[in-house]
Structure 1
Amino acid sequence: MSLAPWLDACPAVAILRGITPEDAEPVGAALLAEGLTILEVPLNSPRPMESIRRLATAFGERALIGAGTVTNEEEVAAVARAGGRLMVTPHAAPPLVLAARARGMIACPGFFTPAEAFSLLAAGADALKLFPAEGASPAVLRALLAVLPRGTAILPVGGMTAETIAPWRAAGAAGFGFGSWLYRPGDTPDAVRAKARALRGALGLG
């Protein structure tokens, strides 16, 4: 399993922080209707494992469902049991990359420095989450890509909107994580779909 085909289809991760299990499926359906097929439920959301289970059950192979804000190996195991296939961390944790890969999951851990990036790639990370991107810049991303192995996929996360991604794309970002700009607790599926449609336009996907 690889993250690359999902990013090729649409280089956007929908970060559904704060979503409830009751809202997960209708919001997920709205995102999929606009071609956003990578859905992340941060584990500091209400009953996150139930949301992951419902999304995985509803959308199966049509979407890549997973968890963010993963901080320990017990959580990795629980996400896998719920049907999640993607693990995202806020920090550089090679043991969590190993734990995810051992379960056949895609691992996209967080990093901020070259040392962290290299250690995570050595552990088998599929992609890297540059976080918080607000503390970096497209110039930093370009410099990182110049020294990391060719083909390393870096996804800036933090402060990303349809209006801010152009310079990051030009610097070589493989994709992006969109959080509160795309979804806030209480947003209706129609509101989320409208933002997803705007994002598709910004990404040049029509």
Structure 2
Amino acid sequence: MNAEIKQQIINHKIVSIVRGIPKDSLIPVMDALCRGGIRCVEITLNTPGALQMIQQAKEAYGSRMLVGAGTVMDKPSAVNAVFAGADFILSPVLDLEVIEVCHSYSRVAVPGIMTPTEAQTAWKAGADIIKLFPAASLGTDYVRNLLGPMSELDIMAVGGISADNLTAFLENGVCCFGIGGELVNKKLAAAHDFESITHRARTFVELVQQ
């Protein structure tokens, strides 16, 4: 199961990070993302009611969209996310127990790393995709230099990714992205401005398809 989900994430290239929006905005936001071509959504666990939202999203979308859990910091949180229905698990940090939970339940593990040593440790522990965070702060040269001796890594760039820098990250070896406020943010959700979310989604999808 996890190999298929990993490939879908890499094929679609964009994971929309949904953080801090009200529960009643979730389905309209996902509808807006889906209309814009997004097929992978991450609901962060520091969003109030996140586990219920993950369950709600999976019930509403089934196999039409992948739904992951983000900001997963420890083993209990990972287990809770799995039982809520998360297809993949992302973290801003490297926690080996979280990777073990993903293996136990055939979920895709996407731990966060910043250094080459962390990247190697995560990869040897069986991480499916390496989340480079904060990507924009580190820059595209960092990605190219990291992949020089470690070309086996599948890197997801997260943190500060925008329409202005996405193409440069792709050209330097990134395989996929986690995109937060540039796609969905609390202000747009509160204003029920779902058309803007769809427009932003289309912009990013068109960029990765070029």
Partners of 2:7 and 2:20 in 1: how far apart?
27
* 1:197 corresponding residue in structure 2: 202
Paired with 2:38 and 2:158, the residues of 1 have a C-alpha distance of: 16
Give runs of aligned pairs for residues 132-143 of structure 1, distance below 5 A: 132-143=134-145
Tell me which residue corresponds to 2:172: 171
Which amino acid is 1:134 matched to? A
- 1:16·1:41 contact (CA, 8 Å) conserved in 2? yes
Moved more, 99-108 or 184-193: 184-193
Q: CA deviation at 1:125?
A: 0.6
Q: How far apart are the structure 2 equivalents of 1:204 and 1:84?
A: 26
**Could you tell me which residue of structure 1 aligns to residue 117 of structure 2?**
115
Cα distance in 1, alignment partners of residues 37 and 9 from structure 2: 10
Say whether 1:62 aligns with 2:67: no
Q: How many residues align?
A: 203
- Amino acid of the residue matched to residue 158 of structure 2? V
Structure 1 ranges of 4+ moved more than 4 A: none
TM superposition shift of 1:179: 0.5
Match of 2:23 in 1: 21
Corresponding residue number in structure 1 for 2:46? 44
- Determine whether 1:98 maps to 2:100: yes
2, 5, 8: which is aligned to 2:8?
A: 5
Distance in 1 between the 2:74 and 2:26 partners? 24
Where structure 1 has 5 or more consecutive residues not aligned to the other structure, the ranges are none
3-state SS, counterpart of residue 85 of structure 2: coil
Deviation at 1:149, TM superposition (A): 4.7
Letter in 2 for 1:193: T
**Aligned-residue RMSD, C-alpha:** 1.3
Task: Give percent identity, aligned residues only.
Answer: 29
Q: Distance in 2 between matches of 1:50 and 1:189?
A: 21
1:32 to 31, 34, 40: 34
Q: Deviations over 1:48-91 (max 9, x none)?
A: 01110111111111111011110111111111111111100011
Shift of residue 21 of structure 1?
A: 2.0
Task: Tell me the alpha carbon deviations over residues 115-172 of structure 1, each in whole angstroms, 9 at most, x when there is no partner.
Answer: 101111111111011001132111110111122252x210111111112111111101
TM-score by length of 1: 0.94
Shift in Å at residue 189 of structure 1?
2.0
Report the 3-state secondary structure (helix = DSSP H, G, I; strand = E; otherwise coil) of the residue aligned with 2:63.
helix
C-alpha distance in structure 2 between counterparts of 1:147 and 1:18, whole Å: 38
